[in-house]
Structure 1
């Protein structure tokens, strides 16, 4: 089960369709259960996905490329969503042009393009869900993408009946029948083989 640039596109389409109609809402409200508001959460998504793209392009061996991407202070909700989705599109492009043997630093392992694609999907979908809940709607991500992300980032975890629930459980966002909510978790950025 390989995570690809196409999966980033599916995740992007889901988040855009869910959050796009909510740009008229109050983005100073908390994003889900986070301490961040919706503005800060969208900015985080843009920053982390741009950082992942930079890792694949620059391929540092022991650090993140040294920059912090921030939206303009006066950015509207539409512009914040654009910023976040631009990060996804640039990561998608970087994954598309990277060969499978490319490796770059990530604290959870020297990651390949598939690892960065999976981490990007996870960041986008999980924080897209935070945004959706903060803006009074619900994210319904593609289950096939969630299943591939869980298989790639959490290879030792048992599958859940709903892959979206499985991804949220793996990242400490909910409890499942017979499994309490995780207080700590870590995904695997390094290749599985």
Structure 2
């Protein structure tokens, strides 16, 4: 199954459902991804999604479009989450509009709209999971979306685990018994068949 804009919408909706109830907590004190707190992780995700939309829209295949999207200094947690939703909506709209022949640059390889949708889903779900852990809530993304993104972005992953757990393992968020950790992981952005 190809990864679609609808999959990105569903992944984003699952993150919003998990994080909306905790927008009144202190996101600046909650862990996010790496050295980022939950608030800055949301900002990172929004920026990534908007950048991916720009890459595809511009059809740039040799470098990033030179801009950065960031939250205003007075943005609330709810507005940080809204920033993620806006970025996901922009990327989903571009993915939906463009044909499979379009290409855009990413440092891990030139990709097509399906690949950028997959990248967006990984960003939303994996960083969303980091934020959820830091804020003490559970993220439950749709299994079929996780399965689609695993097949497209991590075709070498054939672990005996539920798709969400397998995606977390592939992105070095969990360990699975008897399997090596995935530090230094990368997705496969190249179009299928390339």
> TM-score if structure 1 supplies the norm length?
0.96
Contact 1:172 1:185 in 2 (8 A): yes
RMSD between superposed Cα atoms in Å: 1.1
2:32–2:41: 8 Å Cα contact kept in structure 1? Answer: no
Question: Cα deviation per residue 1:36-69 (whole Å; 9 max; x = unaligned)?
Answer: 1011000000000000000110010110111110
Residue aligning to 2:25: 25
Match in the other structure for 2:131: 131
Q: Which residue of 2 aligns with 1:70?
A: 70
In structure 1, list runs of 5 or more residues that go unmatched. none
Q: 1:89 to 1:131 in 2, by over 3 A?
A: same
- Distance, in Å, in 1 between the alignment partners of 2:170 and 2:116 is 17
The aligned runs of 1:107-122 (5 Å cut-off) are: 107-122=107-122
State the distance in 1 between where 2:160 and 2:9 align: 24
SS of 1:146's equivalent in the other structure is helix
Which runs of at least 4 in structure 1 moved beyond 3 Å after TM superposition? none
* Equivalent residue number for residue 100 of structure 2: 100
Whether 2:32 is the aligned partner of 1:36: answer no
Q: Provide the secondary structure at the position in 2 that maps to 1:165.
A: helix
Once residues 13 and 76 of structure 2 are traced to their aligned partners in structure 1, the CA distance between those partners, rounded to angstroms, is 20
Which residue is equivalent to 2:162? 162
CA, structure 1 residues 160+117, in 2 after alignment: closer, same or farther (shift >3 Å)?
farther
Cα deviation for residue 109 of structure 1 reads: 1.7
Distance in 2 (alpha carbons) for counterparts of 1:28 and 1:107: 29
| Structure 1 residues 32 and 70: alpha-carbon distance in aligned structure 2, compared to 1, 3 A threshold | closer
Gaps of 5+ in 2: none
Name the structure 1 match of 2:14. Answer: 14
CA contact 1:4–1:114 (8 Å) conserved in 2: yes
Give the total of aligned pairs. Answer: 193
Does the CA contact (< 8 Å) of 1:108 and 1:189 recur in 2? yes
User: Are the counterparts in 2 of residues 29 and 135 from structure 1 also a CA contact under 8 Å?
Assistant: no
